Amino acid sequence: MINGSCSPIPVSYSCTIARGAGDCPDVLGGRLAFRPNESLEKKGRARLLPSYLRTKLGRSLALPMNLQAIPIGKRDGLFVTWVRKFPHCFVPLQRPMALVLMALLCITTNGFFAPPKSTAAEPDAPTRSILIVVGAPGEEEYAKSFREWAGRWRTVCSSNTSKVEWIDGTKASEANTKSDHDRVLEWISETPETKERWIILIGHGTSDRDATKFNLRGPDISAEELTKAIGNQDSRWVIINCASSSGPFINALSGKNRVVITATKSGSEQNYARFGDYLSQSISDPEADLDHDFSVSILEAFLAASNRVAQFYANEERLASEQSLLDDNGDSKGTPAVFYRGARPLKAPAEGLQVDGLLAGRIIISTTAQPDRLTDDQRTQIDHLETQVEGLRKRKKEMLEDDYYQELETLFLQIAGIRELR
């Protein structure tokens, strides 16, 4: 029992963390550290690990029996923050202290322990350019909702190092001004000041045999027009279409170094889409932080919003008329949220296709931790290393266990080195 807040652990080895719906959502206060304690090995006592150690590494973690949780302030030990208690999932001891160290290093890939002395750009230097487009609402009821959703995006994106522009289609067009259609294409054609560019479309959509379009004041804009305008730009692109009938945008816009999200899986899902509401709520919601790393990624926001949409239709006892998709591997197929459990994929697509989410999971929308002070070059290096980690995990069954963990540790240490962790 630790601080009197967890039940006794009925095993003689160790405790690991398994996260799922309804798993002991109790928040524990205080900070703990781990240090060697030889006497525990004889007693066979077990210890708890914080939940994010389990979720970030993507496997069961075991704390060696010669470690004991102690209050912070003692000398020896690795410091961690105790987040949640999960005392009901157990496995025998599997790996030595190196595994715990690797897990802690893995946590740092999202900046949780990022040091303040990193040599990054000034905080006010924009790292991404974002265009929020509110389309033609049709009715005032929708206009109010769309403005509210867009306002949430503006609040979150304006609070970090992003350059945000907004086209509000809920108001009457001004005379002698460019159409919203032309303004969108003009923004895309501009020489980007950043290496990451986002387009967030909030409104209604239509689709037929000829084209799939997002409804704007004046002329609508099609998926094909956006694809042609973006062309082969080197920037990383994030295109989020929260409109009905938006599914075909994935087929048109999917590509290398792109994340494309749609509110529906096809153009035939033409009813009013609620996905945009839940997504705009999820981008800053701590409950959307599925891996408990104190930040919300695009993948986590997508999963949280998709699950809330499904819950809405279930509660209303209605047939779901919208099923969102995410594509970030360039295969133009898209992956629904049901392929995931938590922040990790539960199954793989058919025909040997790869599940989407690797890139989206590395792009952070909001964070409650200290600001990330990495340079663009450092982020690129970390992205490359994290891609290698994912590739290594896929080859795990083909490798000897010791070889697998040795390579995994090497990659984690390289990531820690870039973040100047010692």
Q: In this structure, what token pair is assigned to residue 141?
A: 């009821």
Tell me how far apart the terminal alpha carbons of the chain are, to the nearest angstrom.
31
Q: In this structure, what token pair is assigned to residue 16?
A: 């690991």
Q: What is the pLDDT of residue 21?
A: 32
Q: What is the pLDDT of residue 379?
A: 75
Contact criterion met (CB below 8 Å) for 218 and 185: no
Q: What is the pLDDT of residue 374?
A: 67
Question: Can you tell me the distance from the alpha carbon of 210 to that of 218, in angstroms, rounded to the nearest whole number?
Answer: 19
Please identify which residue in the block is written with the tokens 């993948």: 299
Domain ranges of the chain: 14-110, 128-367, 386-418
Q: What is the pLDDT of residue 171?
A: 86
Residue type at 13 in one-letter notation = Y
318 torsion bin: left (phi>0), alpha (psi -120 to 50), beta (else): beta
CA angle 207, 322, 237 (to 5 degrees): 70
Q: What is the pLDDT of residue 23?
A: 34
Contact criterion met (CB below 8 Å) for 228 and 145: no
pTM of the model: 0.66
Question: Can you tell me the distance from the alpha carbon of 134 to that of 149, in angstroms, rounded to the nearest whole number?
Answer: 9
Helices 275-282, 298-315: crossing angle, 10 deg rounding: 130
Alpha-helical runs (H) found in 176-297: 180-189, 223-230, 248-253, 275-282
Q: What is the pLDDT of residue 121?
A: 38
61 torsion bin: left (phi>0), alpha (psi -120 to 50), beta (else): beta
CATH 3.40.50.1460 fits 128-367, yes or no: yes
pLDDT in tens, 59-97: 333 333 333 333 333 333 333 333 332 333 333 334 444
Alpha-helical runs (H) found in 265-400: 275-282, 298-315, 376-394
For the sheet containing 67-71, what is the strand order? 67-71, 31-36, 78-81
| Residues of the chain falling short of pLDDT 50 | 1-98, 100-124, 422
Q: In this structure, what token pair is assigned to residue 307?
A: 């699950």
Contact criterion met (CB below 8 Å) for 109 and 387: no
Q: What is the pLDDT of residue 382?
A: 82
Q: Which residues contact 187 (CB under 8 A, 6 or more apart)?
A: 131, 165
Q: In this structure, what token pair is assigned to residue 91?
A: 């496995």
Cβ neighbour number for residue 395 with a 10 Å cutoff: 11
Q: What single DSSP character describes residue 74? A: B
Residue 295's SS3 state is strand
Q: What is the pLDDT of residue 5?
A: 35
Question: Can you tell me the distance from the alpha carbon of 189 to that of 349, in angstroms, rounded to the nearest whole number?
Answer: 35
